[in-house]
Structure 1
Amino acid sequence: MSRSSSRLRKLSVLLASGAGLAALATPAMAQEASEPSAGLEVITVTARKQVEDLQSTPISITAFSAERLEAHGITQINKVQDFTPNLTFANVPSNSGIASNAAVYIRGIGQSDFAPTTEPGVGIYIDGVYLGRTAGGVFDLIDVASVEVLRGPQGTLFGRNTIGGAINITTVQPDDTLRVKADIKYGTDDLVNVRGMISGPLTEGLYAKVSAGLFSQDGFVDAPALGKTLGNKDSKMIRGALRFAPEGSGLDITLAADYTRDKSNGAPVVVTGIDPDEMGSFVTLNNLIASGMTSPGYCLSPEQAANTACFNERLYSRDTNYATRDTFSDLELWSTSLTVAYDLSDDIQVKSITALRRINGSFAQDRDGSNLDINYVYDDFKQKQFSQELQLVGNSLDGRLDWVAGFYYFTESGRDINPIDFLVVYAQSGGYYDYKNWAGFAQVGYELVDGLTLTGGLRYTDDQKSFLPDQYVIDTLEPFLSLPAGTRLAPYEWADNNVQKWTPMVNLSWQATPDFMVYATYSEGFKGGGYTQRVFPPEPSLPSFRPESVSSYEAGFKLMAMNNMLRLNGAAFYADYTDMQLLVADATRVGPFFTNAGKARIQGFELETNFAPGNGIRLNASLGMTDADYKELNEGVQGLTLDSKFVYVSKWTASASGEKEFDLDSAGTVTPHLDWSYRSGFFTNANGINNPELYQPGYSVFNANVRWRDAGENLSFTVGVDNLGNKKFRTFGDYQPSFGFFMQAFDRGRQYYAKIGYNF
């Protein structure tokens, strides 16, 4: 009873918050539009497996149409973070040299490591297919129809349970309309983006689409010893779809496939300093050896600044990496899917999504950024996944009852073999994995009385994970470390981590008027347990961690006002986050390891608005607040206190944009666009530890572009500047006490571009 009372109390507080926000917005409903051409477009979403108006969907969601992505100049998926409250979508090399890895956090919940021994905290879906690994998750957009960012647990609607939220990407589906679209973009550092798509009918009831893109750009961090620059772009992709949908048959079959090759020189990281107080680090040991075993501070004196045997200030930089060992990132991804939908009746549809996806990758990084063998890592990464989802979607009782039922099966296997060279030890790390996951889920919504709808959902998940660590010593540096070659770092035996979990959801929404809705939701989510992949020194058993879970409370409102000129949506939330999985440092281990850190409380809100008063003017704004605090830390967790802050999570996020279309009659239109985004301060250390050297203070970014379109809106030309203020903010940081140096990455800074496009 006490747990139920606590939940009701939290939900009532959120309802009051949502009602307060709504009360501020309600007076605008009485205003009238004075401009006949005024008004916002209708945004439709598929977040609940049905095509719905955004304003009648009772969840916190940010949606981008293809036109909005174009207006903001967004051609890479992670850039949606700049205009989505409480979202972090970073490209993080984590503890390897991978150059494309999605670290996604929504409302403070996410994950930064791509290692297959842990799961993403936010699910990414493309046309209903879940991407099991974050490797390659920072990709370019070539034929996207819409992007939806859903906040909070999504277990009762999406095939794979997602504890923090979901990013739902829908691509253009071929139909009986011929579409041709192509553009070329050129910019700073020889940026060249080429995209193209053709979609349309082959014959009656049979349609096809082919799209492709080439993306390249020079790097911006010099690596003179390697003869290249880091942070470059070199990727290509192709996507195709064949759709069979005879008119009047109720049958819709789509076979789709895509291929991506992403090669780069490596992540744009640099060494910015060392911690001289970390006397047990490998940097200190290296400098002690350089001194002839006389003084660990020998290398830090001004007289030794140019000594190539020392690890010291000669290596510190923001734009140069002095690595001498091979550094690169090479990813190859392909997938295929078969989606079959059939209308059993006017009100019931059955749908099957069958998908196969593979990733082959190899990446290496000289992490110490020097001529010294202190920290070098290599990954041989392979993953293949198969998923099968069945959905039954319908409505009955004259539309008062909507329901979704589904079954999901997911299997994944592969390897991540990691040779490591850590000054005193050369070893093989990593191993092989084999996972199976199946779930049943259902959601039912019933309109109790006109406008008042109660929705309930339930999910059962069975998550089975097996990992075989293939980790052993190859060589050691005596007399500092003496382990026989072949010594196992963890037992060479399969480790199992299985869990079964029920997760519910309940939602109450009230459509007070056709233009105003309020809602409240309670939902639960969880993420399965796993293992620490990178182990040293030897462990008697493979270190593991338990599942994490969240109980989420949300209340919000959605408002259209001023004759559809104004859209204002808001939500407040509270979450109890337990057994949270963190990558942390430990003085007794070399490198980071995963652990269940403890409990946390997360609360906050989102506000989003769009205003189109007419005469070609459009204004957009958003504000998000995520207040996350540790409430309890498990015994033995090192490097954290109750005052520690979540990494990569800003308390405040905000954005605003404006554009004005000028009509040039037969010469077409010109549309200037200006946008601003802000993130308050956050820590960038991917290993969960707050270090003042890796703190990024709050910053603003301004972007601007001007687009001309001809009178038929077929030909366009755009010139723009990203990051007008040339802010070179931190995008990644890493510090591990066992190594003793700070490694960071920074934004490229100001970029100019010009783009010409054609479509019909």
Structure 2
Amino acid sequence: MTKSLAFNFILSSIVVGIYSQHTFATQESIEKIEVYAQKRAQSIDEISIAVSHVTGLQLEKRSIKDATELGHFVANMKISQNAAEGTPPAVNIRGVGLIDYNTANTSPVAMYLDGASVGSANNQLVDLFDIEQIEVLKGPQGTLFGRNSTGGAILIRSARPDAGSYGYVTGGIGTDDWQKLQGAYNHEVDANSAVRVAFSHTKYEYTSYNLYEPSPEAGLEQNNARLSYLGEWDTISFYFKAHYSHWNGIVQPVGNIGIYSDPINLVTCSAEVAAQGKCVDRFGFNDGSDDFWAVSVNNDSPHHSIGKGWTAEVNWDVTDNSKLVWLNAFTRLDREHAFNCDGAPTKLCEGNLGLKAELLNNEVRYHSQIGKDYLTAGIFLLEERLYQDNYNDLGRDLRGTPFGAASAMFFYDNDIKTKVAALFAQYEWQWLPSTRITAGLRYSDESVEYDSVSMVNSVLEQSEPQGVLMPFYHVVGESDDDGLSGKVAINYGISEDQMIYYSLSNGNKSGGYNGGYLSSPEQAENAAYGPESLNAHEIGTKLTWSEAGIKVNGALFHYDYQDQQVFMNQPASEPGLPPIQLLENVASSKIYGAEIDIEYQPTAAVMLNVGVGFIPHAEFENYTDPLGVTLSDKRLPFTSEINANAQLSYEYMLDGADVVTSLGVDYQSEYYFDQNQNPYAMQSGYSLWHFNTQYRTQSWQANVWAKNLFDKEYSHLKFDLSQFLGMLEDFKGEGRRVGVDFTYRF
């Protein structure tokens, strides 16, 4: 399906949706939503946490592929592919997030997959298939979800086996060679148990394309499988899930944003002109195309990863009002991700991120209903080991020339072991019939051991371009952090469907070792960083007017961010040298803002969802970094002042089939990609529109969908290499992609 044909088909579907006469006349009440934000099933309207809820059906309709697309549903949340798909994503909630692509780091926004922590940011790139629901918890989650969750937590819940034997198969095609095949089969073994198998195959090319003909076509093939079992008896239930994934392909080619109008005399362009692709890098390169999505780069850069593991959960009803839960999970990820960072046909900056990660989770919880009160207490244990095998090859094409001494190939291998032990308890006290008080406390002890080894291959003689391999640095160390975090909240029920709450919560993120590219032994010696903490005040409302079909959730928040861990990509002191990459604790930051989510269903056929986030202040306090650069009063990276999402859905009958047509938008105001408020590394405001029409009978379903409907040009990341190569790496976003899926249910 070409882009133009698919686009015309979508417009025709919109017209059909508007002019078709629906047969619904009765008004339905707002759906009640059940979440696991406090590690037990509860109504979303009774908990003193700002939670955004995304259903598996919503993911299916919009053909959502992976976790990086969740930000389109949630106010004040942004997730990007960061340094291309296959590297750790950049997750940001209310201005708190991680922007480093380094595979050794852990995000301050935690992620839990079927109850188990995914650990480091490497495992936050999750393909979403056969999903029951996803919950986004905003603000620090320092009691029940205490694994480095200063910014929030994302809870992903796979579809579990249930009663009945049934299944479905979905096949889809789309632009840029998009191919999808997914399915699941649920089989009831007996009255007490069932098994479920689910799979996903996706293959596609990127919407950005490469003009450099020797490079292979860039794209990715992702294969995933999941087998799960659920048994439920009188007092015991057992859930087991095994998963496997295999990804293979060529990474997305990076663009080149040159900053010079005259590279010989080092005359720079303005940031506005450079963003239009009209300038050149330090070597005079420009891809020569006015098409934003076109690049010209030596991109024979493979990606290969294999992930596997299991999750097991046992629930034992000790009494009618209490139970014990044991959760055990293990995952292993092996990944090789090559990259080209000069964004040109030359070989001046290339490398590879090699990783082997092993993660073991264990958690035991006790739940007890005490009258109208509720107690949750437990112990959490985690062990993670990261083996990094990385290299960065700088100036390869200069070897054998008079400038060969400027070339160097850095090998940096790290062995990082993390151990976490925590005790936690939360008590929910029904103080008055309309007032509930929640108090929680967590004690955590985390240790990080690191062994970092680096070698460097340098050219000593022009006649010997192969260079000489020499030791560069070897650093061994350990950091140990322990401390308390917790929460106090009070919620007041105005009526059965309306409540207000106040919470004071705290979260901590442990220190560690910055196992990324380090350009000197001195940097390596000082690459350890300390813990950070965040104290959050929040006032929120959860209001439902069922008869009017209106639901409103809102929150005001104020964050005091102490010792914030910030990744800094700083220019070297001399032009032509690689940038200095630091992960440092800045003094503090202040963040405050608001958000509101509105669901309006005027009739059974029409649904309007609107989410608006507003963060007027998200700035560093007084701080000067180790290189002497002042960050005071500068805005935090990846933090838009205003963001909004909206979707209008219309349901109608057509030839006996149920049809739902939806049109929506996600808007982000301008934001910066680094901590320096560099105007070259800035993304101007943009809107991404999406559309889908789903046609469904009892057994068959067709879904036409489109992402970035109007082909808006935007970037996931602009990485500043201006002092080194006279350019910025441009990791482009996703252009317009349209497709159609067909599903058969049996």
Per the normalisation by structure 2, the TM-score is 0.87
Q: Could you say which residue in structure 2 is the equivalent of 1:110?
A: 97
Q: Could you say which residue in structure 2 is the equivalent of 1:746?
A: 732
Does the 8 A contact of 2:260 with 2:281 survive in 1?
A: no
- What CA distance in whole angstroms lies between the structure 2 residues aligned with 1:212 and 1:615? 34
Q: Match for 1:461 among 441, 444, 468?
A: 444
- What CA distance in whole angstroms lies between the structure 1 residues aligned with 2:593 and 2:282? 48
What displacement does 1:182 show? 2.0
- What CA distance in whole angstroms lies between the structure 2 residues aligned with 1:495 and 1:376? 29
Residues 590-611 of structure 1: CA deviation (Å, up to 9, x unaligned): 4412111221100011100111
Q: Could you say which residue in structure 1 is the equivalent of 2:355?
A: 381
**One-letter identity of the residue aligned with 2:608:** L
Q: Could you say which residue in structure 2 is the equivalent of 1:345?
A: 319
Q: Could you say which residue in structure 2 is the equivalent of 1:407?
A: 379
Aligned pairs for 1:653-732 within 5 A: 653-664=643-654, 667-685=656-674, 688-710=675-697, 712=698, 714-732=699-717
* Secondary structure of the corresponding residue to residue 49 of structure 1: coil
1:447 is the counterpart of 2:430: yes
What displacement does 1:371 show? 4.1
Q: Could you say which residue in structure 1 is the equivalent of 2:612?
A: 623
- What CA distance in whole angstroms lies between the structure 2 residues aligned with 1:565 and 1:338? 40
What displacement does 1:146 show? 0.3
Q: Could you say which residue in structure 1 is the equivalent of 2:544?
A: 560
- What CA distance in whole angstroms lies between the structure 2 residues aligned with 1:371 and 1:72? 36
1:597 is the counterpart of 2:582: no
What displacement does 1:78 show? 2.1
Q: Could you say which residue in structure 1 is the equivalent of 2:411?
A: 428
Q: Could you say which residue in structure 1 is the equivalent of 2:489?
A: 507
What displacement does 1:430 show? 3.2
What displacement does 1:136 show? 5.1
- What CA distance in whole angstroms lies between the structure 1 residues aligned with 2:193 and 2:41? 23
Residues 155-180 of structure 1: CA deviation (Å, up to 9, x unaligned): 21125241100110111111223331
Q: Could you say which residue in structure 2 is the equivalent of 1:89?
A: 79
Does the 8 A contact of 2:555 with 2:596 survive in 1?
A: yes
Q: Match for 1:216 among 203, 210, 222?
A: 203
1:756 is the counterpart of 2:719: no
What displacement does 1:733 show? 1.0
Residues 453-489 of structure 1: CA deviation (Å, up to 9, x unaligned): 111111111110011111122224569xx9x955543
* Secondary structure of the corresponding residue to residue 82 of structure 1: helix
Residues 424-444 of structure 1: CA deviation (Å, up to 9, x unaligned): 222211311111111111111
Q: Could you say which residue in structure 1 is the equivalent of 2:255?
A: 270
- What CA distance in whole angstroms lies between the structure 1 residues aligned with 2:253 and 2:77? 23
1:228 is the counterpart of 2:197: no
- Change over 3 Å in CA distance of 1:456–1:747 after alignment to 2: same
Does the 8 A contact of 1:727 with 1:747 survive in 2?
A: no
- Change over 3 Å in CA distance of 1:698–1:257 after alignment to 2: same
- Change over 3 Å in CA distance of 1:653–1:60 after alignment to 2: same
Q: Match for 2:32 among 36, 42, 58?
A: 42
Aligned pairs for 1:16-95 within 5 A: 36-93=26-83
- What CA distance in whole angstroms lies between the structure 2 residues aligned with 1:550 and 1:637? 26
What displacement does 1:637 show? 5.1
Q: Match for 1:419 among 356, 378, 391?
A: 391
Aligned pairs for 1:43-442 within 5 A: 43-93=33-83, 99-135=86-122, 137-158=124-145, 160-219=147-206, 220-222=208-210, 224-230=212-218, 232-246=219-233, 249-274=234-259, 311-315=283-287, 318-324=292-298, 326-396=300-370, 398-399=371-372, 401-423=373-395, 424-442=407-425
- What CA distance in whole angstroms lies between the structure 2 residues aligned with 1:272 and 1:415? 33
- What CA distance in whole angstroms lies between the structure 2 residues aligned with 1:622 and 1:257? 36
Number of residue pairs the alignment of both structures matches: 689
- What CA distance in whole angstroms lies between the structure 1 residues aligned with 2:282 and 2:92? 38
Higher mean displacement: 536-545 or 431-440: 536-545
- What CA distance in whole angstroms lies between the structure 2 residues aligned with 1:326 and 1:706? 38
- What CA distance in whole angstroms lies between the structure 2 residues aligned with 1:468 and 1:754? 49
- Change over 3 Å in CA distance of 1:145–1:187 after alignment to 2: same
- Change over 3 Å in CA distance of 1:218–1:235 after alignment to 2: same
Uncovered stretches (5+) of structure 1, i.e. residues with no partner: 1-33, 278-283, 288-294, 299-307
- What CA distance in whole angstroms lies between the structure 1 residues aligned with 2:676 and 2:29? 47
Residues 599-648 of structure 1: CA deviation (Å, up to 9, x unaligned): 11000111001112224111111111123011221453555532422222
Does the 8 A contact of 1:101 with 1:137 survive in 2?
A: yes
1:574 is the counterpart of 2:558: yes
- What CA distance in whole angstroms lies between the structure 2 residues aligned with 1:497 and 1:489? 23
**One-letter identity of the residue aligned with 1:689:** N
Higher mean displacement: 692-701 or 66-75: 66-75
What displacement does 1:730 show? 1.4
- Change over 3 Å in CA distance of 1:297–1:159 after alignment to 2: closer
- What CA distance in whole angstroms lies between the structure 1 residues aligned with 2:460 and 2:537? 54
- What CA distance in whole angstroms lies between the structure 2 residues aligned with 1:653 and 1:671? 26
- What CA distance in whole angstroms lies between the structure 2 residues aligned with 1:37 and 1:469? 63
- What CA distance in whole angstroms lies between the structure 1 residues aligned with 2:53 and 2:286? 47
* Secondary structure of the corresponding residue to residue 489 of structure 1: strand
What displacement does 1:67 show? 2.4
**One-letter identity of the residue aligned with 1:551:** N
Aligned pairs for 1:477-496 within 5 A: 485=468, 487-490=470-473, 492-496=474-478
- What CA distance in whole angstroms lies between the structure 1 residues aligned with 2:145 and 2:53? 17
- What CA distance in whole angstroms lies between the structure 1 residues aligned with 2:666 and 2:694? 20
- What CA distance in whole angstroms lies between the structure 2 residues aligned with 1:309 and 1:549? 40
Per the normalisation by structure 1, the TM-score is 0.86
